[in-house]
């Protein structure tokens, strides 16, 4: 199997698995218990909090553990808006993850004015529209850092500065970027950052929300006094410990991993474009996160391509969603104005430190023959 679906989830590092195994076997006490065993487990949680904080260049006191990226996003947006209930405007972009867009849809149904900022053909944000739509009536802004489909990155410090100048708090969805690119929460003019452990070789079921000091939000899950009263419930200790280890290794290996994966990704794109004339790399003119390659094969259907890839032992994914029996192009590619004939054939290949050049060479060599089978079947 060749796994090129790392934006969906990543393979946990061996060190993560071992740390979680030890934790499950030897550190099963409740970290809220006052006895020595419980406090030993509490120490493990706090050590992990320090490692996650280092990943974001933040203070450990600014890290709230959650069940994953989706919960972190919901807590940031919903919890933030409850504090600013006198304002009824919410600003985001047209290319956000569904975890943000579904909340935005719900907000609109509740009477909020929701502004969706557009992007150009390469996926770059319309900065003039961004500056115009953020006003003193805006309660909160939510901005994705690295797009989960195309990998296109937004300049968070510059865009956040616009909101900061108008006194508007900003939430950053860094689920696809944390653990891959440098995030400096201390210097960024943002209040909230969402991340997920399984996107950078940690476990599923655990995430974190960065909450800048003196930023007020209200909890969504009420219960005990865990996580500074912002997220009730007994902590997922083994998940938190695993995420801490993954954070530590991401910081340690950042430069080496970035250089290697970027080089392999670029070689992959060059090989595909050289051998398949109708292949189009979406967002290629914009700054992109180094592991993501969204390639559209004009005239083909992504669903059919994915089936053939899977049969060949290659795991990839598509931004398309099947609705009422018909395949619709991704909302991200629609927002970019990608022609439907092209967008229907978009495949997301997302790499990690575990992918080898031999794997990539194999995929590049077999893709032309595989796609030609669809052409013979009349797909093009």
Which CATH number characterizes residue 315's domain? 3.90.1150.10
* DSSP string for 78-111: HHHHHHTTT--EEEEETT--HHHHHHHHHHHHTT
Given a cut of 90, is residue 354 above it in pLDDT?
Answer: yes
pLDDT band for 282, please (50, 70, 90 cuts). Answer: very high
pLDDT band for 319, please (50, 70, 90 cuts). Answer: low
4-13, 299-308, 368-377: segment of lowest average pLDDT: 368-377
Q: What pLDDT does 121 receive?
A: 97
Catalytic residue, candidates 23, 47, 270, 322 = 322
Which residues partner with 63 through β-bridges?
210
Given a cut of 60, is residue 137 above it in pLDDT?
Answer: yes
Element at 327 (helix H, strand E): strand 326-328
> Quick one: 145 and 246 in the same domain?
yes
Q: What pLDDT does 328 receive?
A: 77
State the Cα–Cα distance between residues 135 and 322, nearest whole angstrom.
Answer: 37
Please write the tens of the pLDDT for every residue from 55-75. Answer: 999 999 999 999 999 999 999
State the Cα–Cα distance between residues 120 and 16, nearest whole angstrom.
Answer: 39
> Quick one: 223 and 275 in the same domain?
no
Given a cut of 80, is residue 323 above it in pLDDT?
Answer: no
> Quick one: 208 and 325 in the same domain?
no
Q: What pLDDT does 70 receive?
A: 98
State the Cα–Cα distance between residues 78 and 336, nearest whole angstrom.
Answer: 28
> Quick one: 301 and 222 in the same domain?
no
> Quick one: 335 and 194 in the same domain?
no
pLDDT band for 114, please (50, 70, 90 cuts). Answer: very high
Q: What pLDDT does 84 receive?
A: 84
Of 221, 252, 283, which residue sits at a domain end? 252
Does residue 23 have an active-site annotation? no
Residue at 97 is within a domain: yes
Residue at 286 is within a domain: yes
Of 236, 252, 268, which residue sits at a domain end? 252
Residue at 9 is within a domain: no
Residue at 86 is within a domain: yes
> Quick one: 158 and 204 in the same domain?
yes
> Quick one: 261 and 208 in the same domain?
no
> Quick one: 203 and 82 in the same domain?
yes
Residue at 3 is within a domain: no
Residue in the block written with tokens 């005239």: 299
Q: What pLDDT does 379 receive?
A: 45
The number of distinct structural domains making up the chain is: 2
pLDDT band for 374, please (50, 70, 90 cuts). Answer: confident
Render the burial of 13-49: b for 16+ CB within 10 Å, e for the rest. beebeebbeebeeebebebeeeeeeeeebbebbeebb
Q: What are phi and psi of 159, to 5 degrees?
A: -70, -35
Residue at 146 is within a domain: yes
Q: What are phi and psi of 146, to 5 degrees?
A: -120, 125
Of 217, 252, 287, which residue sits at a domain end? 252
pLDDT band for 375, please (50, 70, 90 cuts). Answer: low
Question: What is the percent of the chain where pLDDT is above 70?
Answer: 96
Mean pLDDT across the chain, nearest whole number? Answer: 95
Please write the tens of the pLDDT for every residue from 187-241. Answer: 999 999 999 999 999 999 999 999 999 999 999 999 999 999 999 999 999 999 9
Q: What pLDDT does 214 receive?
A: 96
Given a cut of 90, is residue 322 above it in pLDDT?
Answer: no
What CATH number is associated with residue 118? 3.40.640.10
> Quick one: 248 and 280 in the same domain?
no
Q: What pLDDT does 380 receive?
A: 43
Which residues partner with 64 through β-bridges?
209
Q: What pLDDT does 321 receive?
A: 42
33-47, 87-101, 327-341: segment of lowest average pLDDT: 327-341
Q: What pLDDT does 376 receive?
A: 54
Token output for 181: 């690119």
Token output for 283: 């967002």
State the Cα–Cα distance between residues 196 and 206, nearest whole angstrom.
Answer: 6
Given a cut of 60, is residue 343 above it in pLDDT?
Answer: yes
> Quick one: 81 and 222 in the same domain?
yes
Please write the tens of the pLDDT for every residue from 246-260. Answer: 999 999 999 999 999
> What's the pTM value of the predicted model, to 2 decimals?
0.96
User: Domain range for residue 208?
Assistant: 14-252
> Quick one: 278 and 248 in the same domain?
no
Q: How far is CA 90 from CA 116, 125, 209, in A?
A: 9, 17, 19
**Residues contacting residue 379 through CB under 8 Å, at least 6 positions apart:** 299, 300, 301, 304
Residue at 85 is within a domain: yes
Residue at 1 is within a domain: no
> Quick one: 170 and 35 in the same domain?
yes
Given a cut of 50, is residue 320 above it in pLDDT?
Answer: no
State the Cα–Cα distance between residues 154 and 157, nearest whole angstrom.
Answer: 9
pLDDT band for 327, please (50, 70, 90 cuts). Answer: low
Question: What is the percent of the chain where pLDDT is above 90?
Answer: 94
Q: What pLDDT does 86 receive?
A: 86
**Residues contacting residue 104 through CB under 8 Å, at least 6 positions apart:** 90, 92, 96, 114, 116, 142
């Amino acid at each position: 199997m060749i796994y090129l679906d790392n934006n969906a989830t990543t393979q946990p590092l061996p060190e993560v698995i071992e740390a979680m195994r030890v934790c499950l076997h030897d550190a099963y006490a409740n970290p809220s218990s006052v006895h020595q065993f419980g406090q030993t487990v509490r120490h493990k949680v706090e050590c992990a909090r320090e490692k996650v904080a280092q990943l974001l260049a933040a203070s450990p006191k600014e890290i709230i553990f959650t069940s994953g990226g989706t919960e972190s996003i919901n807590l940031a947006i919903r919890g933030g808006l409850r504090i600013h209930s006198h304002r009824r405007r919410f600003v985001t972009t047209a290319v956000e993850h569904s975890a943000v867009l579904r909340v935005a849809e719900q907000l609109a149904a509740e009477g909020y004015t929701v502004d969706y900022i557009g992007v150009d053909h390469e996926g770059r944000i319309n900065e003039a529209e961004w500056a115009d739509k953020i006003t003193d009536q805006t309660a909160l802004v939510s901005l994705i850092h690295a797009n989960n489909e195309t990998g296109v990155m937004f300049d968070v410090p510059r865009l956040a500065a616009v909101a900061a100048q108008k006194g508007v708090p900003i939430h950053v969805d860094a689920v696809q970027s944390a653990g891959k690119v440098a995030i400096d929460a201390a210097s960024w003019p943002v209040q909230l950052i969402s991340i997920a452990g399984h996107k950078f070789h940690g476990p599923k079921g655990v995430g974190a929300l960065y909450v800048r000091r003196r930023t007020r939000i209200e909890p969504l899950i009420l219960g005990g006094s865990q996580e500074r009263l912002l997220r009730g419930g007994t902590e997922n200790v083994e998940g938190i410990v695993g995420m801490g280890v993954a954070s530590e290794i991401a910081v340690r290996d950042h430069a080496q991993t970035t250089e290697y994966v970027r080089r392999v990704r670029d070689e992959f794109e060059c090989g595909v474009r050289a051998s398949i004339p109708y292949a189009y790399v979406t967002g290629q003119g914009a700054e992109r996160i180094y592991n993501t390659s969204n390639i559209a094969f004009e005239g083909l259907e992504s669903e059919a391509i994915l089936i053939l890839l899977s049969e060949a032992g290659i795991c990839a994914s598509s931004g398309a969603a099947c609705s009422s029996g018909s395949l619709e192009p991704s909302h991200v590619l629609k927002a970019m104005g990608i022609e439907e004939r092209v967008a229907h054939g978009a495949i997301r290949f997302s790499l990690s430190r575990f992918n080898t050049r031999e794997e990539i060479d194999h995929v590049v060599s077999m893709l032309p023959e595989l796609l030609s089978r669809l052409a013979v079947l009349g797909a093009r």
